[in-house]
């Protein structure tokens, strides 16, 4: 179970606090900018989880895991009311919950297929995308390293993965000409899919609004505008995979709120604790048959309760505002390091590149030695994924570690 561990940390649940994970193996606390694969919304032992209400509610549920599809509970209904009632969910009528992100992607695709009613469904996704490795999630995920290690030799239905029109950088600045050319190539390949498969056989276009696993690849505003226009034109469902970008990571509950394009279905997970989808009213066909998406464990009730209290903490402690402020502080500090290339961030989703994989690996290794853990990705990138309750002192500590690493290298 632990053979793939990067950090070999044996967590002490009681001693871990705030943004620090305490390691029993070394007896040290590490500043956690890894964030349990970006799934840690409030840090360790947040006060909201010390309240009498949370402790009583969670202890009632700890000894029994019920199938939510069959057994009704006050706790599940209370969670659904709070979750679906959040102002950021106002565009969506239907909600379904699952035990992991890849199954949320599968549910989203099935909902889109049901609406299209085609016997030859073809889902369009993008190159360099990651949507999980299980079932339909694996079919739409591109086979880049290291996802290829988990998907090599497994089928993908032959569904098209078209050009990724990510923002292109040159000397640390956005190369507008190359970015525009890339967007034009995407549009060309999208239209080619329409011609090849027929719009009537394409239920959905699936997008990570920031391609997180590939290294935080961003898209220009025009990509989202054109995607919405194309999906409306050809009656195709626009699905956003917000499993990594959603639930406050960017300073808004959902990344799509930053650019005013509303998807038809959103898949969520990680920071929400329980994964799932939310769909617009037009996508109700699936929900007319209550068992259509159901499995035994449609999400854990304990995860739902934890999510409910996280939502309460977001409001009580101004968590989204904090994410924006801390993100700006981190970016301001890291901008002083010219060795870090293509620094990009929204809220507390932060990433940067290096000149080489050797430099990246050395900086990563040194950061861990200085008791900062983060997430290296692709060939020469690092992603920072702190929790959203990060305080100013912790943010500055992380910046100072990177500054110290380069000070010892004689580089700024």
**CATH class in words for 63-315:** alpha beta
Chain segment 102-158, per-residue pLDDT in tens: 999 999 999 999 999 999 999 999 999 999 888 888 888 888 877 777 888 887 788
Which among 172, 300, 175, 320 is positioned nearest to 255, based on CA atoms? 320
SS3 state at 98: strand
CB 272 within 8 A of CB 285: no
Strands 375-377 and 381-384: antiparallel
Tell me how far apart the alpha carbons of residues 330 and 343 are, in angstroms, rounded to a whole number: 11
Question: 20-32+318-409 and 63-315: same fold?
Answer: no
Q: Residue 166 and residue 147: Cα distance in Å, rounded? A: 19
Digits of tens for pLDDT over the chain (412 positions)? 667 789 999 999 999 999 999 999 999 999 999 999 999 999 999 999 999 999 999 999 999 999 999 999 999 999 999 999 999 999 999 999 999 999 999 999 999 999 999 999 999 999 999 998 888 888 888 888 777 778 888 877 889 999 999 999 988 889 999 999 999 999 999 999 999 999 999 999 999 999 999 999 999 999 999 999 999 999 999 999 999 999 999 999 999 999 999 999 999 999 999 999 999 999 999 999 989 999 998 899 999 999 999 999 999 999 999 999 999 999 999 999 999 999 999 999 999 999 999 999 999 999 999 999 999 998 899 999 999 999 999 999 999 999 999 998 766 5
- Which residues are registered as beta bridge partners of 206? 239
Q: What residue ranges do the domains of the chain occupy?
A: 20-32+318-409, 63-315
Q: How far is CA 248 from the centre of its chain?
A: 10
**402 contacts: CB under 8 Å, gap ≥ 6:** 333, 334, 337, 340, 363, 367
Instruction: Enter the pTM of the model.
Output: 0.96
Classify the C-alpha dihedral 189-193-199-204 as positive or negative.
Answer: negative
Contact status, residue 404 vs residue 370, Cβ threshold 8 Å: yes
| Closest C-alpha among 214, 260, 261, 266 to residue 239 | 266
Cis peptide before 74, with omega less than 30 degrees from 0?
no
CATH class held by domain 20-32+318-409? alpha beta
**d(Cα 319, Cα 253) in Å, to the nearest integer?**
10
């Amino acid at each position: 179970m632990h053979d793939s561990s990067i950090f070999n940390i044996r967590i002490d649940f009681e001693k871990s606090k705030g943004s620090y994970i305490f390691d029993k193996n070394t007896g040290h606390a590490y500043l956690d900018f890894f964030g349990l694969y970006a799934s840690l919304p409030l840090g360790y032992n947040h006060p909201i989880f010390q309240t009498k209400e949370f402790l009583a509610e969670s202890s009632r549920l700890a000894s029994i895991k019920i199938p939510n599809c069959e057994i009704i509970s006050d706790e599940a209904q209370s969670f659904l009311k709070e979750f679906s009632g959040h102002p950021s969910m106002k565009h969506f009528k239907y909600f379904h919950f699952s035990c992991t992100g890849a199954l949320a992607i599968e549910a989203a695709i099935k909902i889109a297929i049901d609406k299209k009613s085609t016997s030859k469904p073809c889902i369009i996704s993008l190159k360099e995308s990651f949507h999980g490795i299980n079932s339909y999630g694996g079919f739409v995920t591109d086979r880049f390293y290291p996802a290829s290690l988990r998907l090599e030799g497994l089928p993908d239905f032959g569904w098209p993965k078209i050009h990724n029109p990510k923002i292109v950088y040159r000397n640390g600045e956005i190369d507008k000409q190359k970015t525009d050319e890339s967007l034009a190539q995407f549009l060309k390949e999208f239209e080619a899919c329409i011609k090849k498969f027929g719009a009537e056989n394409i239920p959905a276009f699936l997008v990570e609004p920031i391609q997180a696993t590939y290294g935080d690849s961003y898209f220009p505003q025009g990509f989202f505008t054109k995607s919405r226009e194309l999906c409306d034109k050809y009656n195709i469902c626009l699905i956003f995979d917000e499993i990594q970008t959603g639930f406050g990571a960017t300073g808004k509950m959902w990344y799509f709120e930053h650019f005013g394009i509303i998807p038809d279905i959103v898949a969520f997970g990680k920071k929400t604790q329980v994964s799932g989808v939310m769909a617009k009213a037009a996508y109700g066909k699936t929900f007319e048959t209550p068992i259509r998406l159901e499995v035994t464990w449609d999400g854990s009730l304990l995860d739902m309760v934890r999510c409910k209290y996280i939502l309460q903490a977001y409001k009580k402690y101004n968590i989204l505002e904090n994410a924006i402020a801390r993100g700006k502080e981190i970016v301001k500090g890291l901008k002083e390091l010219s060795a870090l290339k293509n620094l990009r961030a929204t809220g507390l989703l932060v990433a940067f590149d290096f000149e080489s994989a050797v430099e990246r690996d050395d900086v990563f290794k040194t950061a861990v030695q200085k008791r900062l853990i983060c997430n290296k990705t692709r060939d020469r990138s690092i992603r920072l994924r702190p929790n959203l309750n990060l305080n100013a002192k912790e943010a500055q500590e992380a910046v100072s570690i990177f500054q110290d690493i380069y000070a010892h290298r004689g580089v700024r």
